[in-house]
Chains A and B, each alone.
Chain A
Amino acid sequence: MGLEARSGTAPLLVARGLVRRFGSFTAVAGVDLELAAGEVFGLLGANGAGKTTTIRMLCGTLAPTAGSIVLDGIDVVRRPRAARARLGYAAQRFSLYGDLTVGENLGLYAGLYGLRGAARRARVRWALEALGLAPWAGTPAARLPPGHRRRLALAAAVLHRPRVLFLDEPTSGVDPLARQRLWELLYRLAGEGAAILVTTHHMEEALFCDRLALMHEGRVIAAGAPDDLRARVPAGTVLELEGAGDGGVRARLAARPEVAEVVPRAGRLRVRLRPGADPAAARAALAPLVAPARLVPAEPDFEDVFVALLAARGEAAA
């Protein structure tokens, strides 16, 4: 179901049957993942779905209760330290030193990865340039804008040219431009051959990924390319109001039993039908309520995908 890495390339990361329990609580309940070079892979889900626990296991900082992880040929579970040299990890919380400058932080991390002398200077200079941090080199990290702080964390994670890069919520709380630039950076790093795994709880960000997995309560409920996943929303269950409706149209639609919700989106009203509603019958029933405007099928977003998948599991009925 789309869990396999892109065809034609050997996967850089293969995880099988990952399970992690904390006492009686199961944070991750059997996750399989494959990641190829050049690929940006997203792990989407709400807080508590198991994203961070999964990423920490993949990085070798948390031992799985069960399952296997092979990263660039190295068994991460048995040899986490050897794997560490081939992976980069930027945690959700900013974990660099706020009182050191951007340049000092990067110099420190380059040193921690064993880079010395000219090689270290060259690599730090590369990172400053590549991530657009050069004008900020002398600024204490604590005084960076949030978006640039994420970039610095990313820079520190790529200094040692890792084959696989793990980023936990790299775009949370940044402005739209910073978010866009961060994704473009990831595309560039992937273009240079890295495999990148990103977690996010913003459903809208799914479209940025080459492939993604939707996590819910410790499990992957679906995985694949964004368009493949959108195709799993039953056709015609997401509608948009085309043409001018009067002021009361939103309330009239929302009051109908077959309508789950009506929300404004990009200047139009978006109507989501309740899971299980018959799209054709619903459209016919709703048409007189909106005339002279029309309800037309719309491209579902990832909230719709998520809700449809949960409905298929029988969880959205409640």
Chain B
Amino acid sequence: MRPAAVAAVALKEWRHLRRDPTSLALLFLMPAMLLALFGYAIRLDIREAPLGVLVESPDGAARALVADFDASAAFRVARHYRSRAALGAALARGEVWAGLVVPAGYARALVRGRARVQLLLDGTDANTARLLRNYAELVVQRHAEARGVAPPLALADRLWFNQARESRYAIVPGVITLVMAVVGTLMTALAITREREQGSLALLRASPLRRGELLAGKLVPYFVIGIADVALAAAAAVWVFDVPLRGSPAALMAVSALFLLVVMLQGTLISLQAPNQVMASQMATVTSFLPAFLLSGFIFAIENMPAAIRALTYVVPARYHVALSKAIFLKGAGPLLLWADVVALGAVAAAFGVAVWRRAARLGLLP
């Protein structure tokens, strides 16, 4: 490999980027947008949240509890339902933000001091769910105290969708993973496809350029941009969203660099495969964004997934980075403590690296 040739490709790639303001803007605006979307969309205060109610055996005790919920500042009783299914459906549609289930035999249990009511929550907005749960606990506690019931009335909750009960603290480190997965894959997915579409690949094939020089030259500038994106996102996490970075910034950058390599190799693989740029960007979105969003533990807890899907998450590289990023941010863990995730990322990087190297042989460049 000739360093001068690698540098020439990298410089050329950087010039393409610099002269295409839309793609350059995308590389920095997309992370900002994703951060804002997931960081700011989280509610801080709730008033008059619509509450769906299911009272399985209507009596005075149950009515009194429901009345206390309605009287609270946080809730208003929006509607009564006749079944759990109906209440669940209303929750899914967003008609109500929470569901209160007063089970049959509530009045008798209350007398014996073993009463429990259930709260159903929509977990897709983890922060709102957490706040609603805190308010509900308060209402139930006051209600129990007012009746002199001891031990206090208990609240059994069931969170729908986001069973991990993540909130901003846990979500923002995950957003960094998402940003890297999308940006890293998309940037590189177009890199070789563009050469093919422009016809310049024919010239490169006939030149003394080697396969390794082209690949290295293509990856270098995007790696630098990707690392800059990570640093900016981490800085925003700490200073804009007040998420504590308890671990070492160096550790975070190190594991992120490894993950960036993985997604860039994934993008390169797409670039070698896709016939045109439109196809390449679609393939990049489907293979990077969707798994990183759905199967990484970013929002949906992996341990609550069906076994088959849980098994599937092991091949999603984002899963390892989400785990690492959260652990470094929130628990202050060092990457050595999480060696299994680091090794897994390294293994995926090696596998992608080999696949890229083999597939790139078909480009027809000198080996």
Contact, chains A and B (beta carbon distance below 8 A): no
List residues of chain A with CB under 8 Å of any chain B CB.
none
List residues of chain B with CB under 8 Å of any chain A CB.
none
